[in-house]
Amino acid sequence: MRKPKLCSTLTRPLNSKNLMDKTYKELVDFLQQLDCAPYLINLTKKTQKDQKNMIKNLQDFIFNKLSNQFINMDCWDTEHPASSVKRDSIDIYGRHTDFEIIIELDKYRADQIAKKFLSRSALFNDKKIIYIALCYGGTAKMSAPEAIKYFTYCNTISLRLENLFAGLIVEK
């Protein structure tokens, strides 16, 4: 069974009385229990087109689980427009009155993680966000340590913005 593993650490304690903090903890705990294995079988041996379809199936699986588990959210969506101006979308998006949840499913490439995190943080700069980078290997040679290093950077910036970040990796 291949479950996402949390690879970033918050540098501040969570407040169990704060709804955003409570939701963050519940969300990260929940995601770590999901069995992603059926959606990633031989992923690194597939063509880019086949990988895209497999990740779409994983996205739908996670979306369905989240929308059934986290019913206190005002809405859940996939391929949510990140901006009305730019052609860009968030893989899984959740909205609550007090905060928004952004979940991006990506190969664990540091540049991809940094680019998405930076653009989402800028586009949602007037909102409180929980940002989850859920990453997987895209090629047999892809290495996770560089991604984990960037998770630390994303976490540091999130805390400065008074947001929350979690980086999770589904190992090969």
Got the DSSP string for 3-61?
Answer: --EE----SS---TTSHHHHHHHHHHHHHTT---HHHHTTGGGS-HHHHHHHHHHHHHH
Question: What whole-number distance in Å separates Cα of residue 8 and Cα of residue 23?
Answer: 17
Q: Phi then psi for 103, rounded to 5 degrees?
A: -120, 120
pLDDT for residue 157 is more than 90: yes
Band of residue 8 on the pLDDT scale cut at 50, 70, 90: confident
Higher per-residue pLDDT: 60 or 13 = 60
Return the CA Rg of the chain: 15
The string of pLDDT tens digits covering residues 147-156 is 899 999 999 9
Summarize the confidence of residues 116-127 as an average pLDDT.
92
In the chain, domain spans = 5-170
In angstroms, the CA 88 to CA 75 distance is 19
- The angle at the Cα of 54, spanning 134 to 7, to the nearest 5 degrees, equals 15
pLDDT over 90 at 105, yes or no: yes
pLDDT confidence of residue 2: 66
So what's the pLDDT on residue 86?
A: 67
| DSSP state letter for 161 | T
- Region 28-41 average pLDDT: 91
Pick the more confident residue, 158 or 86.
158
Which pLDDT does position 172 carry in this prediction? 58
Looking at residue 43, what is its pLDDT?
85
Q: How confident is the model at residue 45 (pLDDT cuts 50, 70, 90)?
A: confident
Task: Domain 5-170: give its CATH code.
Answer: 3.40.91
